Amino acid sequence: MSSPFLLLSAPEGDFYAHILRCFAAGFESLGIPCLQQNPHIGHEALAQWAAKFRPAAVLEINCVLSLATPWPQDVPHLAWLQDHRFGGYDLTQNLGNSRHLYFIVHPSSFGIVVPRERAWSILLPAARVDPPAQVQPEMQRDFSMAGYIPAPLDADAPVAFMADGSPVELERFLSRFPVELLSDAAFSMRDIHSAIAKTCQEIGCGQITDRGTLQTFDEILVRTLERRRILEDVIASGGTLEIFGPPTWEKWPQFAPYYRGHIADPRQLDPIFQTTRINLHNSGLTMHFRVMDCLAAGGFMMVNETPWDFLTGGIRNYLEPGRHYGSYKISEVGAVAKRYLADEGARRRIGAEGRRVVLAEHTWRDRARQIMNDIGLAPRKLAGSKTPELERAETALMQIANRQQEAEKLSEPRPL
């Protein structure tokens, strides 16, 4: 092909499509056109396509290259792992054969020890280069939370079984489990799974190996307990609160009155971030997509502290608490929130400085440049329209995706 291009691929979904659009814009600002594909297509067909059209690289989100795939050696396959589990599969158990692994947080938080011979690095979320400027808007709420919470779990649901077949209910299991480990801010899958095994031994039940049950602990409860505590503490402070996210929030009686619906397009969160006195973030990933978006829009955000903050990829390597964002310990969220709520000057100053540094150093253009450096691809002057070669590559990719969709439809069970 006469000019280099990249293929960016992600799982199905509006959020991933948004990431691909933003990332493609970053590459294209450096003169590298991109094709975008979501959902993923099978690696055998993708390898044949890559061998024919020779992209400069293929980057897939939450998908490593299969060891069995005969991949063309001169086309780097790059895998960006954003989750420890996706689509029911544990991404930590098979690192595949990708040329380079990118992690969104330090792999040790997922319990991963990357083999010495594997090339890996941190690839962080980023911000758009064009968020609207904040011009002293009128504040509409004290607090906002834009994110996800799972639906409440059934405390009587069995999670393990005794030798005689009698169930061990979730509530009983948690009464013996060190629940402080079920922390999103201090997430360690290795510690959680180790504690599950030890608790099973103490109770005398069979070991929990079912993937769905493990997910109850290392994903559902991890994404529930702290988030619930944070918002309950904020509500108790007396400030006004609005929650944005999936409708699972309505299943929580204490949160339903504050729920304001789901905003599918992250760009539409800009005015929310700008008209909220304190935007709240809770995650083991502190350089999160919403943190980048909020700071880029000039909003003030409180971000929880984590054990990973000073490790590679941790927020303290890039941003400074009290200067670019507000930092809090989970146990102190109420007191910290009250302090910042009373200090409008600090919120404005921090919001402005956060916007400045994110737009200067943490846009999708910056992330694109990182990958280009990794694969030895220099910036170019982008042509005004797609080349015929790129159009043929795009058409072939669409044909593969359409055939895959048709095959999946034919394989679906038909109603009796």
**pLDDT tens digits for range 160-208:** 999 999 999 999 999 999 999 999 999 888 899 999 999 999 999 999 9
pLDDT at 227 over 60: yes
What pLDDT, on a 0 to 100 scale, did the predictor assign at position 189? 86
pLDDT band of 272, cuts 50, 70, 90:
very high
List of domains in the chain = 6-126+364-411 (3.40.50), 141-151+224-361 (3.40.50.2000), 158-221 (no CATH)
pLDDT at 225: 96
User: How close are the terminal C-alpha atoms of the chain, in Å?
Assistant: 50
- Please state which of the ranges 106-110, 336-340, 343-347 shows the lowest mean pLDDT: 106-110
Percentage of the chain modeled with pLDDT above 90: 84
**Strand, coil or helix: 87:** coil
For residues 37 and 19, the answer to whether their CB atoms sit within 8 Å is no
pTM: 0.93
In the predicted model, what is the mean pLDDT of residues 85-97? 79
Q: Beta strand pairing status for 89-90 and 85-86?
A: antiparallel
Q: Please state the rounded mean pLDDT for residues 380-389.
A: 82
Q: Is the pLDDT of residue 16 over 60?
A: yes
Per-residue pLDDT at 415: 58
Identify which has the larger pLDDT, 35 or 94.
Answer: 35
Cβ count within 10 A of residue 149: 21
Average confidence (pLDDT) over 264-292:
95
Backbone angles phi, psi at 225, to 5 degrees: -65, -50
